[in-house]
Amino acid sequence: MDLSGSTVLITGGTSGIGRATAELFAEQGSAVAFTGRDADRGTGLAELIRAGGRDALFIPADVRAAADCTRSVEDTLAAFGRIDVLVNNAGTYVPNDALGCSEEEWDAQVDTSLKGTFLMSRAVLPHMIERGSGAIVNNASGWGLVGGAEAVAYCAAKGGVVLLTKAMAIDHGPQGIRVNAVCPGDTETPMEVADAKRKGWTWERYVEWASDRPLGRMGAPEEVAKAILFLASEGSSFITGAALPVDGGGIAG
């Protein structure tokens, strides 16, 4: 799965799964561009990757804004000359059911995960089409394949990402572009830490609750990053339109 000489653009790359993905792609030889809204974390990660001898570019951007998505692609091309892989990772989670979910909560989750994936893909596709190759990997969720309690907007957003993935795979496969999704289960990220605090639970209690799956534990961001790397690499050259659970068997039964 060597990606030496390639360029990857990752959204939401300053923490959690996005950060682990940026670090892994850099280790595998990619130039890494990544977006985020936290300038301190973004510049710090870029400096860390460059200190390891790899090229990195942090782009302050909000994927809910079409202009920011276009600028992210333009800045990446200006810096590295190509984009081989797009990882649509940015997302947010606010638990609520249909009665309690506010319009603001709905918009934040659907616009970040679903609209952001669409906008960024739309911005990068012309470049990939011109080159006749490319890989897009979208971060969906196990709850994009099955429903979850008190997660109405999150499930809608991530379910939309799964079908957007399949639709783009059909449209752009003839142009040499593969489009796939990963569907993580509970993973040790800041999003999960925030959820534990919202529930009023200790982290130990949260981990025990989230470990109720065949492998008996939560996932690590690095494990999801490895699945993303696989779907972006030539190791998955005949895979497109797939939604790959990376959840320790959480939705197997």
Q: Give the type of residue at 126.
A: P
Q: Are residues 81 and 19 in the same domain?
A: yes
Q: Are residues 156 and 57 in the same domain?
A: yes
Reply yes or no on whether the pLDDT at 1 is more than 90.
Answer: no
- What are the residues whose beta carbons fall under 8 Å from the beta carbon of 217, sequence distance 6 or more? 207, 211, 248
Q: Are residues 34 and 21 in the same domain?
A: yes
Q: Are residues 64 and 161 in the same domain?
A: yes
Which of 11, 154, 168, 224 is the catalytic position? 154
Are the C-beta atoms of 124 and 71 separated by less than 8 Å?
no
At residue 181, the 3 state secondary structure works out as: strand
Domain annotation covers residue 194: yes
pLDDT in tens, 97-108: 999 999 999 999
- What are the residues whose beta carbons fall under 8 Å from the beta carbon of 94, sequence distance 6 or more? 101, 105, 108, 109, 153, 154
206 given a catalytic annotation? no
Q: Are residues 45 and 98 in the same domain?
A: yes
Which domain range does residue 224 map to?
Answer: 7-184+220-245
Closest CA relative to residue 50, chosen from 33, 38, 35: 33
Reply yes or no on whether the pLDDT at 113 is more than 90.
Answer: yes
* Measured distance CA(24)–CA(125) in Å, rounded: 23
Q: What is the pLDDT of residue 225?
A: 98
The angle formed by the CA atoms of residues 244, 118 and 173, to the nearest 5 degrees, is 60
- Strand-by-strand arrangement of the 31-36 sheet: 56-60, 31-36, 7-10, 85-88, 134-139, 177-184, 243-246
pLDDT in tens, 178-202: 999 999 999 999 999 999 999 999 9
Q: Are residues 136 and 41 in the same domain?
A: yes
Domain annotation covers residue 252: no
pLDDT band at 128 (very low <50, low <70, confident <90, very high): very high
Domain count, the chain: 2
Domain annotation covers residue 141: yes
pTM of the model: 0.97
Query: Which CATH number goes with the domain that contains 47?
Result: 3.40.50.720
Q: Are residues 120 and 204 in the same domain?
A: no
pLDDT in tens, 213-231: 999 999 999 999 999 999 9
Q: Are residues 73 and 15 in the same domain?
A: yes
pLDDT band at 175 (very low <50, low <70, confident <90, very high): very high
